[in-house]
Structure 1
Amino acid sequence: MTALNDTNDTNPKSSQSRLIKTVNSARVFLKLLGVFLPYSIRLLRIRIGTIYHNLTYKPVDSPKNVIVVGGSFAGVQVANWLANAVPLGHRVVLVEKNSHFNYLFAFPRYAVVAGYERGAFIPYEDILGDAVKKGSLLRIRSEALTATATQLLLADGQAIDYAYLIIATGSSQSPPAKWISTGREGACDEMRSTQRSVSKASRIVVLGSGAVGVEIAADIKTYFPDKYVTLFSSRNVVMPQFGRKLQIDVADTLKQIGVVVRYNTRPKALPDRKSIQLPDGTTEEYDFVLSCTGQTPNSALLNALAPQAISKQTGRILVKPTLQLQPADDFSFPNIFALGDVAEHGGPRMARAVFMQAGIVRDNILGLIKGRSPSQQYLPHVWIEGAIQVTVGKNKSFAYMPGDNGTDMLFAGAGYPDDFNIAHGWRLVGANYPGHGKLS
């Protein structure tokens, strides 16, 4: 009877709790409406514009180039949107060294679970094919070395003139966050090599407690319960870039599944990948070491042209709210933009944020082409753009939305299937997943 009374509708505490939940839900709805309504209007405008563009665009000889450097989430999104909007006489050129779009979110899972590797690499033709066919987009597989005021110089010797330059080069990370090979087959071989090392090892250490480190450590432990898995965090928490709610629940889940977390220690992985060196100089031996630490912004493209535009603190490219290069006293390049992980834009470094930024860059470049001053500014909505979904083993996941003063929200859910919902990943970038075993 007492238990029933505790949850009865007449219980003041229960009523107050429901009221708080209702108010919070209303706040979330209004916040979502404030972000997604204008974003949805922009998407509708883009889709209508694409239909018109398909009917009217004709390629010309010697077009003015809008070059996008980098073919990950930021680069692909802005290249696609611009290629379906640039006026006659202009063309988008996407420069990317990888043969396929790398779906990075699946990499930690595929470093542990075999059989799905090829699905993490999406053909660019499936993403950008329509724009390529009509001639408004040219994709060049090469590495961009440096930019001048008028040209982009490539590793294969090409020098491409540009009217506008968009830098979406992201950041560099070590495997398994990103792979060394630029071709799908080579990258798949790297994945399989890591899978074999994980399978053979009894004692495994993972360095770095961000999303990649947490996911791969938890996957190893839940797919191979008999293995001894240690995760090192340089801080006194895991997932240090996120809020306490997520940190606490992720740490508790790691403990429940048997991952040993060692805090406030930043070891160094030794070249043999079987030992680590602690800060005091001592070493520890394991069967396999996975390093999931550090990101280096790929901003070297501007080293010669505009070194002042690269932050000395972070190595990222300094930009205005319009996402144009931040000018200094001795240089100004209003036709150069940067977005995504390589840019110091003040927003989250997440895929959701680059979708917002891509729209800003698109609109501002189209405005410049038409002789107007850029009017669109990127104002981060951290609570939605900084949201994350993270798996902690094969049976559990968390969805997290950041907020101020305890307003962050955390939702626990089921784990992802073995293939990490790869069909959804393909749809996210506009491609159709042919199914496991049917990849060309």
Structure 2
Amino acid sequence: MSSKKTDDRKNVVIVGGGAVGQPLARILSRKLNPSTHYLVLIDCRPFQIFLPPALRLVTSDVDDLQTTSLIPHDKLFANGVGTFIEGKVISIQKGDSSGGSLTLENGDVVEFELLVLATGSGWEGPLNFPEKKEGVIPFIENIRQRIKDANDIVLAGGGCVGIELAGEIKDIYPDKNVTIVKSRDHLLTDVYPLKYRTRVEESMLNRDVTLVLNDYIDDIPTGKYDSVKTRSGKIIKADLVFQTRGGRPHTDFIKSLGPDVLTERGLVKVRPTLQLASYDDIYAAGDIVDYPEEKQLFTANAHFRVVIANIMAAISRKPLRVYKGSPVMILLTNGKRAGVSYFGILWGIIFGDWFARLVHPKSLLLWKARVLAGYN
């Protein structure tokens, strides 16, 4: 089956309905001329799993996040401009002169004049949500039960995922032993100043989280076990080990455009306009973009603003906007009422627990995400 319409409207297609693709679809549906263009959003699930509260979601049923953080795509499109297709894209075929088409796993073909790739990252461990919608709730319930049943939890990775998961576990189960194993001499990466990384470590230690630095867990044990061995030979008591290292870009299908489209890490090579290096009609945004910055929601939001402006400019044949990067910014929570934030402006500003309590970053961001998806 093909998505080719009986009218002459041209498709603007977005692949990926996450924190970039979902609001991008909402805003574009209001901006596109419904007499000349039609919007298509393609994603393997009929909802976005909003990641900022996802670690709280998989830890317990507090705040009923199972209801609110799975944000459906059913209210996205304004003015009858768009449609949602539930499916997985497996390849991209570029047209002879402009536009092209996408092939889905079920064999359907979707044509495009302009294409936005916003497929985000794939994660391991407690954020490795199934692609099929039917598997998401059982996955969440399984992770919650495993955390509840465990006494000694080890997190293999000391970036944002490991740190925030440790805080969420300590909020619900303060008596459980939680250990973070990090391959470097401090938590996080050296994108952040040492003074901030040290504050984050102090925040973890204040929750009785054990830190094992300059070490690595090569293999996550399976079945029943009572310990895990690190690369240095250290034995850590553990009846639950989660992989909490960084994500990997969801870009395998983009290789169909040619061998030079992706970097060795699987990131999409782009121009400053966020167009693909060799394709004027294809844009990329979010975690998959090859740009020297941290993969965060703040930067993703900056990407989709540029992409929206450039799609509208391309349609009207006006000059495109250039993405100039974003300041380093992070709101790292330690449970519901603690956290350490960093803003890479002026001399570099750090805020502690009071700021996390003031802004409630997870609930605030979730509220905004739901509004951007058409929910009040």
TM-score class normalised by the smaller sequence: 0.7 to 0.9
Tell me the amino acid that sits aligned with residue 107 of structure 1: A
- Spell out the pairing of 1:34-433 with structure 2 (5 A cutoff): 61-87=7-33, 88-115=35-62, 116=64, 117-126=66-75, 128=76, 130-131=77-78, 134-149=79-94, 150-183=100-133, 186-240=135-189, 241-268=191-218, 269-272=220-223, 274=225, 276-280=228-232, 284=236, 286-312=238-264, 314-327=265-278, 333-372=279-318, 374-382=319-327, 386-403=328-345, 407-414=347-354, 421-422=362-363, 424-430=365-371, 431=373
Q: Distance in 2 between matches of 1:338 and 1:178?
A: 23
Instruction: Point out which structure has higher relative CO (alpha carbons under 8 A, 6+ apart).
Output: 2
Q: Distance in 2 between matches of 1:138 and 1:295?
A: 29
Deviation (angstroms), 1:423: 6.5
Q: Which runs of 5+ in 1 are unaligned?
A: 1-58, 328-332, 435-440
Q: Which runs of 5+ in 2 are unaligned?
A: 95-99
For the residue of structure 1 that corresponds to 2:146, the secondary structure is helix
Q: Distance in 2 between matches of 1:344 and 1:273?
A: 40
Deviation (angstroms), 1:77: 2.5
After the TM superposition, list the runs of 4 or more consecutive aligned residues in structure 1 that deviate by more than 6 angstroms. Answer: none
Q: Indicate conservation of the 8 Å contact 1:426/1:432, yes or no.
A: no
For the residue of structure 1 that corresponds to 2:275, the secondary structure is coil
Higher helix share: 1
Deviation (angstroms), 1:212: 1.3
Q: Distance in 2 between matches of 1:335 and 1:375?
A: 12
Deviation (angstroms), 1:97: 0.7
Q: Distance in 2 between matches of 1:273 and 1:413?
A: 37
User: How big is each residue's C-alpha offset from its partner over 1:21-50, in whole Å with a ceiling of 9 and x where there is no partner?
Assistant: xxxxxxxxxxxxxxxxxxxxxxxxxxxxxx
User: How big is each residue's C-alpha offset from its partner over 1:328-362, in whole Å with a ceiling of 9 and x where there is no partner?
Assistant: xxxxx210111111111334322122222212112
Tell me the amino acid that sits aligned with residue 294 of structure 1: G
Tell me the amino acid that sits aligned with residue 208 of structure 2: G
Q: Distance in 1 between matches of 2:11 and 2:82?
A: 9
Change (3 A) 1:237 1:423: closer
How many aligned residue pairs are there? 358
TM-score normalised per structure 2:
0.87
Tell me the amino acid that sits aligned with residue 340 of structure 2: F
> Once superposed, what is the RMSD of the aligned Cα atoms?
2.5
- Larger Rg belongs to: 1
Q: Distance in 2 between matches of 1:307 and 1:147?
A: 13
For the residue of structure 2 that corresponds to 1:66, the secondary structure is strand
**Matched residue, 2:97:** none
Tell me the amino acid that sits aligned with residue 320 of structure 1: R
